[in-house]
Amino acid sequence: MIRTPLITVMVQAVRKAGRALIRDFGEVENLQVSAKGPANFVSAADRKAEDTLFQELSRVRPGFSFLMEERGRVEGTDSANEWVVDPLDGTTNFLHGIPLFAISVALVRNGIPYAGVIFNPVTDELYVAEKGQGAFLNDRRLRVAARRTLIDSVVSCGLPHLGRGNHGQFNRELAAVQTKVAGLRRTGAASLDLAWVAAGRFDAFWERDLEAWDMAAGMIIVREAGGYVSDLDGGDKVLEKGEVIAGNEDIRRDLLALLKGA
């Protein structure tokens, strides 16, 4: 595990927000049976988690800027250092009582992810990375999967749904990929997709129409686990374009070629 001052403060913040989220998740399971459902309760839990992260991170690093899903951009006196925060990634899962969601916090320095923490409070899985320090899942050092061929690979993806994304483009990409891989998955939490690539569970992941807070922490975690992350043209404008493909060197390259040909 990395014990730098930076990772220590990030971990404290996500653990604190995670304790409240876990309590709220318990309540969501009860609210499923009510006629109104848990939707309002979940958006309150989301905002509360973001408030906790905002307060904790501004206290320990006054002046750093923020990009947060709910509040948007909050300029600090230090614009080179920006916290990029998704207080609850996997909201739809959370709302439906599916225990696959996470808090995602990145420190982006001069536009490039420098440190990241992704925490699933249900499984108590804490993924951390800082530039040059490696990537860890709890105390275990992470390494991306070593598989070299798509036919052996399990690939995760985003799935456009009602009102979201380009369905025609996705369907073409899916048709190109699904006959070439060992398995396809869709978790519903992009931060965990990237964390699971870093952990070697997924060989690759791609998704379009994401936001910086879905990806920034996962990008540094994958890179520090020895993986490769790019946009869907193979460039480094992941955060700007809101699209990502990640995996080991060979699988990312081969999957990207399939998607480009779709």
Nearest to 116 by CA among 98, 102, 130, 132: 130
* Nearer of residues 108 and 189 to ligand IPD, judged by Cβ: 189
Backbone angles phi, psi at 5, to 5 degrees: -55, -40
Considering only residues 98 to 127 of the shown chain, the ones binding ligand IPD according to CB under 6 A are none
Give every CB contact of residue 111 below 8 A, 6+ residues apart in sequence: 239
* Nearer of residues 96 and 131 to ligand IPD, judged by Cβ: 96
Our finding on whether 194 is near ligand IPD (CB under 6 A) is no
98 token code pair:
């599916």
Our finding on whether 50 is near Ca ion (CB under 5 A) is no
Our finding on whether 56 is near Ca ion (CB under 5 A) is no
Nearest to 217 by CA among 63, 26, 53: 53
Of the candidate spans 145-153, 169-177, 203-211, 236-244, the one that interacts with ligand IPD by CB under 6 A turns out to be 203-211
Q: How far is CA 26 from CA 12, 29, 77, 97, 99, in A?
A: 22, 5, 39, 8, 10
| Beta-strand relationship, 64-68 and 78-89 | parallel
Of the candidate spans 85-93, 118-126, 136-144, 170-178, the one that interacts with ligand IPD by CB under 6 A turns out to be 85-93
Considering only residues 208 to 237 of the shown chain, the ones binding ligand IPD according to CB under 6 A are 209-210, 214
Our finding on whether 214 is near Ca ion (CB under 5 A) is yes
Q: Where are the alpha helices (DSSP H) in the chain?
A: 5-31, 39-60, 91-95, 167-178, 190-198, 212-224, 238-241, 249-260
Tell me the closest approach of the beta carbon of residue 113 to ligand IPD, in angstroms: 16
Considering only residues 232 to 251 of the shown chain, the ones binding Ca ion according to CB under 5 A are none
Our finding on whether 24 is near Ca ion (CB under 5 A) is no
Binding site for ligand IPD (CB under 6 A): 86, 88-91, 158, 188-190, 207, 209-210, 214
